[in-house]
Structure 1
Amino acid sequence: MLSREATPYPLKDQPILIVVGVTGVGKSTTLDELQALGVKFTLLPNRREVTDDFIFNGEVIKDRTERFKRTALFRETHPGGMGQLLTELHLQEAPEHTLIFDGLRGLEEVQYAAEHSKSRFIVLDAPDLVRAGRLLGRGDGFDQVNVQASGDTLSSLKNLKGIDQVFSEEDILALSQLDARPEDILAKVKIVVDERQNYDPKEANAYLTGLHDSERVLYVDTTVHNPAQVAALVRDWL
């Protein structure tokens, strides 16, 4: 569907609907609910697939920490990250329905896409504590990192590098009391921490909502609305 080869259908000229949000905000769930509501759209290869094909050149990298490191290297030549990469890709054929891409994250990516394409944006948001809990519940095989718990869950979490920059003491205590194996809790929390060190959702969300363009940007807190309600909001906005 996507190629670096020039065609009459460059992505930057298409009115793509971009879902913005970090891991666990509800992007995939929202898209499933949209489909259930009968909204017709064409889902582009997602962020993971585009990264594998055009940044990693087909190399299989499952560990999330290693992926963050590799994509950080990519941003040294592409400051706009995935937002910039999208503007360099082309569709192989004309789209029949609304194009949706899942998704962008971080200030640099959304800013580049906003300034260099005709995209519209659905911003999905949820607190870090909620996202960590969702990761524990979703059982996605892609959520892999190399971690080893040392001692009890609370001690292991407190020893996790960078956790105090993302979670409060109260949050860390709440995480330690989740009903899951210590290794699983530590792994999912590390994903949230590593991701936040690479992409700040608050900056990205503030930039997009700061455009004050309700026709181009829809912001939804997925802890206030259930998945069906989120999808209905998106459908009505479209």
Structure 2
Amino acid sequence: MTLPLDHLYAAPPRGPHQARLADLPLTVLVGVTGVGKSTALGALRAASPQARVLPDRREVTDQVMILPLAGGPVTDRAERFRLTARYREQHPGGMAHALGTLTADTGYWGERPLFDGLRGLAEVQYAADTFPAWRFVALHAPDTVRVRRLLGRADTFDRVRGTAAAGSLRAQLDTLPGVDKVFTPADLGALAALEAEGHAPTDILAKTRIVVTERQHYDPDAAAAFLGTLPRQRALLLDTVTLSPGQVAAATQAWA
């Protein structure tokens, strides 16, 4: 089956220049929204122009996971989380399973492509156990930093429905479902203070909700802990607060 993804197919290999992604030594970035995966990939591309980066998680999610379930495009982040959770119920491993079903044109993608990326323990453990050739670079940033980065990147994809600020922003943050499982009172005070830096309360609420909702579906700490048990030649863990994008790229190149 031909997909609207460059040189990737939902069918078994049919020629000498096709291979299952499941069998290739894929380098996979691991991390939730706002940890710096896209920035790190940009630095890697600049340092290694020959690096081939597969269509990102969003594109694979749209074509392999969401479209068959919804019958059309879905832009609301909360609804996308619901649909991908439904996919995971049907296919343990979620995105790792979806990616592993695809066949790549190796004449276009090469034998060692990169992918952005996997999230959470279930995806990472499934990938590590099921695809022994895959290797993982896990990126980490605190949740408050992730909210700040989401506010700064102005991506139209980072939106959710029903986020309206009324009254105190600090009080509104307290009402977000599950927020107390992710942020401490001090964290919420720091997020509310972002309004003084010129960020709109509705944007702060929306970005905070994205981080909280994502945490309900993917636990980055559990994923990192699991990757820490793998041999170093299979997993590299990097902090994107203490390391610049260039340092992340250099560390990844040295490890690879």
TM-score, normalization: structure 1? 0.96
Name the SS of the counterpart of 1:56 in structure 2: helix
Instruction: Quote the residue 1:176 is aligned against.
Output: 192
Name the SS of the counterpart of 1:42 in structure 2: coil
Q: Is the 8 A contact 2:52 2:114 kept in 1?
A: yes
Cα 1:220–1:39 change in 2 (3 A) is: farther
Task: Return the match for 1:9 from 1, 19, 33.
Answer: 19
1:216 pairs with 2:234: yes
Instruction: Quote the residue 1:160 is aligned against.
Output: 176
Name the SS of the counterpart of 1:33 in structure 2: helix
C-alpha deviation, 1:98, in angstroms: 2.6
Question: Deviations for 1:186-233, whole angstroms, at most 9, x for unmatched residues?
Answer: 00000000000000001111001112x111111000011111111111
Task: Return the match for 2:129 from 106, 115, 135.
Answer: 115
Instruction: Quote the residue 2:119 is aligned against.
Output: 105
Name the SS of the counterpart of 1:22 in structure 2: coil
Alignment of 1:47-196 (within 5 A): 47-57=57-67, 59-94=72-107, 95-96=109-110, 98-117=112-131, 118-146=133-161, 147-178=163-194, 179=197, 180-196=199-215
Equivalenced residue count is 237
Name the SS of the counterpart of 1:177 in structure 2: helix
Q: Is the 8 A contact 2:27 2:137 kept in 1?
A: yes
RMSD of Structure 2 on Structure 1 (CA): 1.2
Name the SS of the counterpart of 2:138 in structure 1: strand
The 2-side partners of 1:93 and 1:24 are apart by 30
Name the % identity: 48
Cα 1:38–1:87 change in 2 (3 A) is: closer
The 2-side partners of 1:38 and 1:101 are apart by 15
Name the SS of the counterpart of 2:113 in structure 1: strand
Name the SS of the counterpart of 2:226 in structure 1: helix
Amino acid at match of 1:182: P
Amino acid at match of 1:129: T
Name the SS of the counterpart of 2:170 in structure 1: helix
Instruction: Quote the residue 2:48 is aligned against.
Output: 38
Question: Deviations for 1:5-25, whole angstroms, at most 9, x for unmatched residues?
Answer: 111411110000000000000
Question: Deviations for 1:156-196, whole angstroms, at most 9, x for unmatched residues?
Answer: 10111110000000000000000211000000000000000
Unaligned runs of at least 5 residues, structure 1 = none
Unaligned runs of at least 5 residues, structure 2 = 1-6
Q: Is the 8 A contact 2:24 2:111 kept in 1?
A: no
Question: Deviations for 1:61-93, whole angstroms, at most 9, x for unmatched residues?
Answer: 111001000001111111110111122111134
Which consecutive aligned stretches of 4+ in structure 1 deviate over 3 angstroms post-superposition?
92-95
Amino acid at match of 1:189: T
Amino acid at match of 2:202: E
C-alpha deviation, 1:96, in angstroms: 2.5
Name the SS of the counterpart of 1:123 in structure 2: strand
The 2-side partners of 1:53 and 1:98 are apart by 22
Instruction: Quote the residue 2:3 is aligned against.
Output: none
The 1-side partners of 2:92 and 2:48 are apart by 37
Q: Is the 8 A contact 1:40 1:98 kept in 2?
A: no
Q: Is the 8 A contact 2:25 2:111 kept in 1?
A: no
The 2-side partners of 1:37 and 1:86 are apart by 26
